[in-house]
C-alpha cells in the first residue's frame, strides 16, 4: 500500500519554517510544535467514524454527529521529541489514551534501542497513532511499529513533522501497510543521520538541552 500523505497546509508550512530557523528560541520552538501538533491532528483524524446521537438545541430536537470512538484512539509518543507533537494532539483530543515508547539512537550504529514501553492494556481494541517529529533513518519508527504490532491494535498510522526520503523508504520496506503522514519531505540524510536541511535535533531544541 505504501501511503505517504503530505500535510502541506499553509499554516503548518509557515510554522515549520519558523521552527527550522536557528535563532528560534526553545520556548517558541516548543509552542510551534504544539500548534503544529493540533493542525496535524486535525488532518490525520479526517477519517474518524461518526455516530448520530439525539440532542436538543434550544429550538428543536435533532440527530447530530459525534465521534463514534473518541476514547478509542491511542496516541503513542516516541520519547522524547514525540512529546512535543503529543501535547498538541491532546489539546484537540483530550480523551485519547496515550502510550509511550522510549527509544534512543545508538550514536555509532544509529540503531534504535528501547528503554521504556508502556501502553494501555486493551490496545488490541484501539487504533494507534504513533508520533515522532523526525522520520530520519526510520530505525526508531520501524522499531516502534514492530513492538506495537506484537500487541495487535486495530490499526496503526505514523505521524511526523519532517521526513527524509531514506527514512520513508526504509519504513515502508519494513511496514508497507502503515501509512505515513508528514508536513514535509526534506532532501537527504547526512552521515550522522540528521535530516538536511531539517531543523537540527528536535529533542534538544524542544527541551533546550544543547
Ligand atoms: N532526529 C532529529 O532530531 N533530527 C534529525 O535531523 C534526525 C533525527
Q: What is the pLDDT of residues 121-163, one digit of tens each?
A: 999 999 999 999 999 999 999 999 999 999 999 999 999 999 9
Out of 5, 26, 147, 204, the active site residue is: 204
pLDDT for the residue 210: 78
Q: Let me know: does 173 contact 150? Beta carbons within 8 Å.
A: no
Query: 17, 109, 122, 146: which one is catalytic?
Result: 109
Query: What distance lies between CA 83 and its chain's CA centroid?
Result: 9
The answer to the question of whether 169 is labelled as a binding residue is no
Q: Looking at the 3D structure of the chain, how many domains does it have? A: 1
pLDDT at res. 104: 85
What's the average model confidence in pLDDT over 176-203? 97
Examine the residue annotation and report whether 105 is marked as an active-site residue of this protein.
yes
Q: Which residues lie with the beta carbon below 6 Å from any ligand 1 atom?
A: 81, 134, 136, 193-195, 198, 201-203
Give the three cell numbers for residue 27. 520556548
Q: Inform me whether the pLDDT recorded for 28 exceeds 80.
A: yes
Is the pLDDT reported for residue 165 higher than 90?
Answer: yes
The C-alpha cell 502510550 sits at 99
201 is catalytic: yes
Rg, Å, the chain Cα set: 18
pTM above 0.90, yes or no: yes
Which pLDDT value is given to residue 71?
A: 67
Does residue 204 carry a catalytic annotation?
A: yes
- What cell numbers appear for 50 in the block? 461518526
Sign of CA dihedral 15, 21, 27, 30: positive
Query: Annotated binding residue at 22?
Result: no
User: Which residues are CB-neighbours of 82 under 8 A, at least 6 positions away?
Assistant: 76, 130, 131, 132, 133
Residue 164's pLDDT band, with cuts at 50, 70 and 90, is: very high
- In this prediction, residue 106 carries a pLDDT of 82
How far apart are the C-alpha atoms of 31 and 105, rounded to whole Å? 25
pLDDT at residue number 69: 78
SS3 at position 99: strand
The verdict on whether 122 is a catalytic residue reads no
Residue 40: the pLDDT is 95
- In this prediction, residue 1 carries a pLDDT of 81
Among candidate residues 123, 181, 170, 167, the one with its CA nearest the CA of residue 147: 123
Q: Grid coordinates representing 99? A: 502510550
Residues of the domain holding 179: 4-207
Handedness of CA 72, 68, 158, 91 (dihedral sign): negative
Q: CB under 8 Å to 160, separation ≥6 — which residues?
A: 131, 132, 133, 134, 135, 141, 180, 181, 182, 183
Residue nearest to atom 7 of ligand 1 (CA): 194
Mean model confidence pLDDT for the chain: 95
Question: Residue 193 CA: which ligand 1 atom is closest?
Answer: 7
Q: ipTM of this complex > 0.85?
A: yes
The pLDDT of residue 207:
95
Q: What is the CATH number of the domain that holds 132?
A: 3.40.50.2020
Instruction: Retrieve residue 152's grid coordinates.
Output: 495487535
Amino acid at each position: 500500500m505504501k501511503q505517504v500523505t503530505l500535510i502541506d497546509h499553509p499554516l503548518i508550512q509557515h510554522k515549520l519554517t519558523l521552527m527550522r530557523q536557528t535563532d528560534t528560541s526553545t520556548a517558541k520552538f516548543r509552542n510551534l510544535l504544539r500548534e503544529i501538533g493540533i493542525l496535524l491532528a486535525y488532518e490525520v483524524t479526517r477519517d474518524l467514524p461518526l455516530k448520530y446521537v439525539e440532542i436538543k438545541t434550544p429550538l428543536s430536537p435533532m440527530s447530530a454527529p459525534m465521534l463514534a470512538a473518541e476514547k478509542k484512539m491511542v496516541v503513542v509518543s516516541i520519547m522524547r521529541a514525540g512529546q512535543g507533537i503529543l501535547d498538541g494532539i491532546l489539546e484537540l483530543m483530550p480523551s485519547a489514551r496515550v502510550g509511550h515508547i522510549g527509544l534512543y539512537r545508538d550514536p555509532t550504529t544509529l540503531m534504535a534501542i528501547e528503554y521504556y514501553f508502556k501502553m494501555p492494556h486493551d490496545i488490541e481494541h484501539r487504533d494507534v497513532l504513533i508520533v515522532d517529529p523526525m522520520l530520519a533513518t526510520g530505525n526508531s519508527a520501524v522499531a516502534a511499529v514492530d513492538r506495537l504490532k506484537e500487541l495487535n491494535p486495530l490499526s496503526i498510522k505514523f505521524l511526523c513533522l519532517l521526513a527524509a526520503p531514506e527514512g520513508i523508504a526504509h519504513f515502508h520496506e519494513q511496514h508497507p501497510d502503515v501509512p505515513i503522514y508528514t508536513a514535509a519531505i526534506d532532501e537527504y540524510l547526512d552521515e550522522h543521520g540528521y535530516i538536511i536541511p531539517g531543523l537540527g535535533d528536535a529533542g534538544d531544541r524542544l527541551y533546550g538541552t544543547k
